[in-house]
């Protein structure tokens, strides 16, 4: 999968953004930054998602699996509520495999790419982050 990470500010939010998200190429997921601790957390969720997908070829939306790892739940609706963007999102992280998808969202003025704002690592949160992801592994 080899996705990349960019940081963004959310300019606008409406239902059209979800239509766009369903027509992206590869993995493309917008994540509300309020739920994130560090880049290491995001990178580990990407790694686990990639591994899960390699064993489950029927996954249509890999971004949903990624959200479940970040939200520490196997319930899609809970993961979307905890980590997905909504009208209250100010800034976030986008995980993508095709840069054209990001350019499209920028061109439509949904997001503005910004500088990195998450710390790379927060070891004091390791137990919470990694044990939560392990619970998801056990319940898949």
**Rounded distance between C-alpha atoms, residue 29 and residue 62, angstroms:** 8
**Rounded distance between C-alpha atoms, residue 105 and residue 79, angstroms:** 22
Is the CA virtual torsion 105, 22, 80, 29 positive or negative? negative
Question: What is the per-residue pLDDT for 8?
Answer: 98
pTM of the model: 0.91
Pairwise pLDDT comparison (12 vs 61), residue with the higher score: 12
pLDDT over threshold 80, residue 49: yes
Number of domains in the chain: 1
Q: How confident is the model at residue 86 (pLDDT cuts 50, 70, 90)?
A: very high
Average pLDDT along the chain: 93
Q: Provide the residue range defining the domain that includes 105.
A: 4-139
CATH code at position 111? 3.30.2380.10
pLDDT tens-digit profile of 54-77?
888 777 788 999 999 999 999 999
pLDDT over threshold 70, residue 16: yes
What are the b/e assignments for 21-50, b being 16+ CB within 10 Å?
Answer: beebeebbbbbbbebbbbbbbbebbbebbb
pLDDT tens-digit profile of 98-121?
999 999 999 999 999 999 999 999
Say how many Å lie between the first and final Cα of the chain, rounded.
20
Give the H/E segment covering residue 6: strand 4-10
**Rounded distance between C-alpha atoms, residue 5 and residue 42, angstroms:** 9
């Amino acid at each position: 999968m080899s996705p990349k990470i960019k940081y963004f500010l959310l300019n606008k939010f409406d239902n059209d953004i979800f239509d766009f998200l369903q027509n992206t190429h590869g993995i493309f997921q917008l994540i509300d930054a309020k739920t994130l601790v560090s880049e290491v957390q995001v990178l580990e969720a990407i790694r686990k998602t990639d591994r899960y997908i390699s064993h489950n070829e029927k996954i249509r939306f890999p971004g949903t699996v990624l959200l479940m790892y970040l939200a520490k739940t196997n319930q899609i609706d809970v993961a979307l509520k905890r980590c997905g963007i909504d009208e209250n999102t100010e800034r976030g992280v986008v995980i993508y495999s095709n840069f054209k998808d990001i350019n499209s969202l920028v061109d439509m003025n949904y997001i503005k790419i910004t500088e990195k704002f998450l710390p790379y690592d927060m070891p004091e949160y390791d137990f919470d982050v990694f044990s939560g992801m392990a619970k998801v592994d056990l319940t898949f």
